């Protein structure tokens, strides 16, 4: 079964977006909220004031939706979380939209889908929302979006801040992951093409970090291979693997230019934190001469590709909900067994070097008073359990965040927060 959100109202035509539509009842269609992108037919992206007005209208108009504030940026803009559907369920999908402020198509796709989910009346959507909680951070980098910059107002790349948690944006997202325990984390981005080697309509990639539980890793690849890519193909969009250049004739991989296993990237942090993860990237560059002549055509194509991919995500969440929950729950419980290696480097396509493997990890790390004071808040945001010892602390590995702890506290880890003392006997 192919899941498709039944769009009740779009300012953009069905032909332009190539997204399945249904006709809303006459008395309701004119009243549904629309984004600035939709009302301009793709000529411009939705502004922040328009986003706030749009979300407030959806919140008022649908009892399926609630909008809350999870943080504030340095420039005072709200970081918001939209909750849709069943709130008393263990099956949770989290969308993180446009961490990079100059990659807006995912954000406008997310806004449209919030409205579609809020007002849809078809049985498929009702079933999905009756047993799945969908969470959306519609603008993960509001200051960067306002300035049309990749980084936030301090120039920090938020998608490199999921370990250090130095930014308000990164801290807000970490708190959401800790508190809401999503089973799936879906991260929407855009990329610049390099024809003819790297120019698909959409690229995606699962968590490559070797600390990702095997079943979580498998479900992440299934999300890509069996759901997101087929949904994009059905809409007429080409797909590929993010970071991999391919031969334009044979399709064979030539080289890897991005997409490694570093844990500070959300895609990989999701896997380390026992969630199915997927990065999705739509092509920014115009594909046709018509798109070169008319930016709105290019913008609509970018959003349409994201919308089709989201349809695949929702099919996955609905059809494989039991398998997903089994995988994520099993991964979280496995940490309490405190068994197996922890990897400080490598990726699923790049074996870790011997010095990057903790074959027999310590039972925990001891932090002195100064170290604990420096990283106490970050450990709490990551959901790491700590035992205070005097003015310092002991951080045991026997907990659900087992694989994350050495990445945070072992001096050999690339992005460690503190050089904790490894304790081998507990």
Q: Where are the alpha helices (DSSP H) in 240-398?
A: 266-272, 289-293, 295-319, 321-334, 369-382
Query: What percent of the chain has a predicted confidence (pLDDT) above 70?
Result: 93
Mean pLDDT value across residues 184-203: 98
246 and 379 part of one domain = no
Tokens of 250: 């044979």
40 and 154 part of one domain = yes
Q: Give per-residue pLDDT as tens, 324-349.
A: 999 999 999 999 999 999 999 999 99
pLDDT at 105: 98
Q: Give per-residue pLDDT as tens, 136-157.
A: 999 999 999 999 999 999 999 9
Residue 31 belongs to some domain of the structure:
yes
Tokens of 163: 């370990």
The CATH number linked to 65 is 3.40.630.10
Query: Which of 330, 361, 394 is the C-terminal boundary of a domain?
Result: 330
Residue 9 belongs to some domain of the structure:
no
Q: Give per-residue pLDDT as tens, 380-412.
A: 999 999 999 999 999 999 999 999 999 999 999
Nearest to 215 by CA among 313, 322, 324: 324
User: Is residue 368 over pLDDT 70?
Assistant: yes
Q: What is the DSSP string of 340-385?
A: S-EESS-BTTBPPPGGGEESS--SEEEE-HHHHHHHHHHHHHHT--
Query: Distance between CA 182 and CA 29 in Å, rounded?
Result: 33
Residue 336 belongs to some domain of the structure:
no
Domain enclosing residue 301, as ranges: 14-330
Q: Give per-residue pLDDT as tens, 239-261.
A: 999 999 999 999 999 999 999 99
pTM of structure: 0.94
User: Is residue 10 over pLDDT 50?
Assistant: no
166 and 267 part of one domain = yes
How many domains does the chain fold into?
A: 2
pLDDT at 20: 38
Query: Distance between CA 182 and CA 328 in Å, rounded?
Result: 9
pLDDT at 425: 86
Residue 288 belongs to some domain of the structure:
yes
179 and 106 part of one domain = yes
Residue 352 belongs to some domain of the structure:
yes
245 and 374 part of one domain = no
Of 424 and 14, the one with more pLDDT: 424
Mean pLDDT value across residues 358-378: 98
Q: State the residue for tokens 């299934």.
A: 222
CA 418 from centre of chain: 26
């Amino acid at each position: 079964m192919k899941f498709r959100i039944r769009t009740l109202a779009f300012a953009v035509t069905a032909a332009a977006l190539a997204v399945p539509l249904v006709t809303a009842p006459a008395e309701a269609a004119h009243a549904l909220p629309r984004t600035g992108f939709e009302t301009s037919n793709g000529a411009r992206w939705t502004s922040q004031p328009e986003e706030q007005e749009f979300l407030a209208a959806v919140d008022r108009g649908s009892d399926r939706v609630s909008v809350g504030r999870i943080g504030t940026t340095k420039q005072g803009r709200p970081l918001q979380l939209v909750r849709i559907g069943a709130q008393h369920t263990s099956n949770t999908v989290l969308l993180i939209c446009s961490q990079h402020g100059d990659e807006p198509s995912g954000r406008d796709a997310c806004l449209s889908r919030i409205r579609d989910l809020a007002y849809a009346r078809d049985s498929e959507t009702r079933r999905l929302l009756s047993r799945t909680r969908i969470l959306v951070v519609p603008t993960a980098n509001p200051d960067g979006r306002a300035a049309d910059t990749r980084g936030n107002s301090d120039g920090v790349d938020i998608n490199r801040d999921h370990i250090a948690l130095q930014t308000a944006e990164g801290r807000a997202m970490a708190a959401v992951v800790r508190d809401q325990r999503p089973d799936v984390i879906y991260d929407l981005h855009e990329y610049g093409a390099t024809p003819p080697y790297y120019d698909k309509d959409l690229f995606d990639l699962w968590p490559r970090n070797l600390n990702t539980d095997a079943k979580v890793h498998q479900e992440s690849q299934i999300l890509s291979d069996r759901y997101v890519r087929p949904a994009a193909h059905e809409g007429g969009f080409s797909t590929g693997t993010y970071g991999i250049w391919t031969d334009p004739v044979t399709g064979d991989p030539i080289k890897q230019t991005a997409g490694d296993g570093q844990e500070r990237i959300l895609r990989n942090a999701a896997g380390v934190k026992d969630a199915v993860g997927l990065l999705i990237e739509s092509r920014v560059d115009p594909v046709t001469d018509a798109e070169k002549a008319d930016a709105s055509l290019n913008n609509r194509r970018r959003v349409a590709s994201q919308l089709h991919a989201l349809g695949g995500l929702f099919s996955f969440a609905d059809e494989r909900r039991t398998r997903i929950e089994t995988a994520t729950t099993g991964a979280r419980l496995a940490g309490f067994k405190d068994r197996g290696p922890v990897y400080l480097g490598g990726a699923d396509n790049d074996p870790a070097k011997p010095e990057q493997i903790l074959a027999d990890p310590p039972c925990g790390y001891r932090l002195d008073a100064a170290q604990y004071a420096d990283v106490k808040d970050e450990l709490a945001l990551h959901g790491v359990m700590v035992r205070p010892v005097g003015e310092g602390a002991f951080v045991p590995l026997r907990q659900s965040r087992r694989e994350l702890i050495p990445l945070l506290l072992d001096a050999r880890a690339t992005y460690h927060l503190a050089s904790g003392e490894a304790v081998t006997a507990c």
